[in-house]
Structure 1
């Protein structure tokens, strides 16, 4: 299959491109930054470039993982986010429809699901963790979330108007940078990332594999949106306790964890404010992350 991969120089693109080629696909990488995986250096905000690349390379599928991300808020204006994340997505959708592309997979983010109330730990006026599924109505709290949600709506519109098969993957955290969560201050970076596998993280390898599966299933499903995160052991009934005393909840599911953590000099977050439920991607797409919190404990 001839695939256009946007964001090919990024953390996900650099992992995904070799995986696609190993499966026999012809990958055209497009990214503003040059890299070994990027054949065309340029921005998806450049409409003429996008239309030309899709047509000249006879693209059959688009995996759209290119975007300005949350860390870019510090040095990019709102208009730049709109140009890349919204107009750039629109350019790709128009190019797909014009060229008759029949597979479109977009990398979105669970970040757009986090309102200020959820971040503050108040759900319906009560202090508890948020249990997050695809059925909730997002209320993004920053320009990154707003533009990614807008891009999702464009994808839905193009499916409805043009019949374009689209799968949107709302991926949890998989980036390598250090965490910015307030309650992670006491943990090392490795400790923090392992803790997050309980409720809001996956490996970049799992993120890449989710895109491969979505590419395979998109024409069958037509349109869908999925949360992609490592499987959580928690249940909705745990949400009140998670916000108040997360270690005790984790110990109920993993009695061995306190001893294993003590030997590593690690600690668990005192409070967990959200849980991403990835059961729908398991049930509808048949995808489950290979690396979970339980797997890390087994290695310890």
Structure 2
């Protein structure tokens, strides 16, 4: 297929573009920033630039992975998020419909599922998050605009028959978390594989799977996250004493973490359940918390990328 990939210069795009090419797809990269896989430099908020991208190539499918993200909140006003994440998505959807594109994959975020109450950990147990979770009450402009873009995808399927798959990845960025300071990068990311992280490689492969499955599914939404070892029955214990739950499931985790000077989480306030992406979409996750323990046990390189802050050295 001839695939238009937005966000081709970003972290996900740099992995997804070559994977698509390896699968035999002809990839046209579209991004505001130049990059190795970016042939069109411009913003999706510019409708003339979007129309030019479609007219310069006979596009069969779109993977819309570009947009403003949560860290951009400190640099952009709300209007910028609306222009890029909402109007930009609408521009791509309308151009797709006008040119007969067969399928549209939208990279959303699990962040839009987190209300301020969840962020403040106002609940007595861990919140179990799957695709049926409601109501959705995003806590910031990033989540609000991503949710609006998801709904535009849904409408274009219902009203125009454009096959649209919405993917909500949990964390896969390599940077330090800008809201957490108590643990350093490797330790924090290793902990998150229990409940809210996946590798960028697994995220990229899930996008390719969505591209393949879109005509059969029509419209659907999927959470992408490394398979959690927890069960719904664990939510009370996870909030109260997560370390005890982890020790029960992985008896050598404490010892392996201590060898690195790491800490297991004392409390976990939310868990993303990606089981539906596995059973319905057919996504295979190559990296889970078990793989991290194996790497620690065998003194191998960790199976995920991280950018360490100078404060963590």
1:72 aligns to what? 72
Taking the aligned partners of 1:27 and 1:177, their CA distance within structure 2 comes to 27
Which digits, 9 at most, give the CA deviation of each residue in 1:174-232, with x for residues without a partner?
A: 001102344xx332210110100000000000000000100010011111000000000
Matches within 5 A, 1:230-245: 230-245=226-241
1:179 aligns to what? 177
CA contact 1:121–1:130 (8 Å) conserved in 2: no
- Structure 1 residue 14, shift from structure 2 partner: 0.6
1:222 aligns with 2:213: no
Supply the RMSD in Å over aligned alpha carbons: 0.9
1:188 aligns with 2:180: no
TM-score normalised by L of structure 1: 0.97
- Structure 1 residue 118, shift from structure 2 partner: 1.2
Figure out how many residues of one structure are paired with residues of the other and give that number: 295
Taking the aligned partners of 2:90 and 2:182, their CA distance within structure 1 comes to 42
Q: Which runs of 5+ in 1 are unaligned?
A: none
Q: Which moved more, 1:281-290 or 1:88-97?
A: 281-290
1:273 aligns to what? 269
1:149 aligns with 2:147: yes
Q: Which runs of 5+ in 2 are unaligned?
A: 297-313
1:166 aligns to what? 164
1:47 aligns with 2:47: yes
- Structure 1 residue 122, shift from structure 2 partner: 2.8
TM-score normalised by L of structure 2: 0.93
Runs of 4+ in 1 over 4 A off after TM superposition: none
- What SS does the corresponding residue of 2:165 show, helix, strand or coil? strand
- Structure 1 residue 288, shift from structure 2 partner: 2.6
Which digits, 9 at most, give the CA deviation of each residue in 1:263-287, with x for residues without a partner?
A: 1111012211100000110110111
Matches within 5 A, 1:208-219: 208-219=204-215
2:306 aligns to what? none
Taking the aligned partners of 2:50 and 2:73, their CA distance within structure 1 comes to 24
- Structure 1 residue 55, shift from structure 2 partner: 2.6
